[in-house]
Amino acid sequence: MDPSLLNRSWTHEQGFQLSTNPNQIPLSDLNDFFSDMPWANPLPEAALRNLIRQSLCFALYDVHNADHKLVGIARWISDFVSVAYLTDVYLLPAYRSQGLGKWMMSCIDETFHSMEHLRGMILIVDRGGGEEILYRKYLGMDDLQSPAILLDRKGRGSAR
Ligand SMILES: CC(C)(COP(=O)(O)OP(=O)(O)OC[C@H]1O[C@@H](n2cnc3c(N)ncnc32)[C@H](O)[C@@H]1OP(=O)(O)O)[C@@H](O)C(=O)NCCC(=O)NCCS
């Protein structure tokens, strides 16, 4: 893996920082996010640590105050070379609809472009919602090309 992938950061002029450093992520705050995501469940600490270690997390911090609170996340599951699955895109409600989601997508897009052997990226989203627009318009995602389909199977940890 390119180690620089886990050490990137972007500064937003309105007092936010996006970082891929997994060591910065506060586990309990991330678990609060999972409690609020309809598709996820909170996890025991050891499982959370494993999840972070094996993902590329784009963690968004509010840096207006010294505590640098975690306010959002976008998590990639990947081999960091050839394929990537984007999941767990989330902002705390107070931080939504201010353009931060679009900004996170632009940083992800930049990272995606920097990976020369990456074949592609997939994600799953409800059809017809605002999030579908976000991914299509700001991350360049598109429908699977016909006749391909996406199959899935729920696991024991699925929330829905
Ligand atoms: C999805 C999410 C990260 C988007 O971040 P955001 O900061 O609210 O979005 P932004 O303000 O940056 O911009 C949203 C853009 O995408 C569209 N969009 C995204 N989510 C939307 C929503 N829920 N309702 C309406 N439009 C939405 C808008 O059209 C807008 O584009 P435009 O300015 O060209 O009209 C955030 O709303 C969120 O955390 N939602 C709850 C969790 C969730 O649903 N995650 C995605 C699961 S697939």
Mean pLDDT of the chain: 96
Per the domain annotation, does 32 fall within a domain? yes
Per the domain annotation, does 154 fall within a domain? no
Per the domain annotation, does 108 fall within a domain? yes
The reply to whether the predicted model has a pTM over 0.85 is yes
Residue type, 110: E
pLDDT of 3 reads: 82
Per the domain annotation, does 66 fall within a domain? yes
What is the number of domains present in the chain? 1
pLDDT of 160 reads: 81
CA of 130 to the centre of ligand 1 (A): 6
Ordered alpha helix ranges (H), 63-123: 100-114
Per the domain annotation, does 98 fall within a domain? yes
pLDDT of 18 reads: 98
CA of 46 to the centre of ligand 1 (A): 31
Q: Which residues line ligand 1 (CB under 6 A)?
A: 89-91, 96-102, 125, 130-131, 133-134, 137
What percent of the chain shows pLDDT beyond 70? 100
Per the domain annotation, does 157 fall within a domain? no
CATH number at residue 44: 3.40.630.30
CA angle 53, 51, 57 (to 5 degrees): 70
CA of 15 to the centre of ligand 1 (A): 19
Mean pLDDT, residues 39-49 taken together = 97
Per the domain annotation, does 10 fall within a domain? yes
Per the domain annotation, does 153 fall within a domain? no
Q: How does pLDDT run across 78-99, given as a tens digit for each residue?
A: 999 999 999 999 999 999 999 9
Residues of the domain holding 40? 3-139
Per-residue pLDDT for 2 more than 90? no
Q: How far apart are CA 45 and CA 104, in angstroms?
A: 26
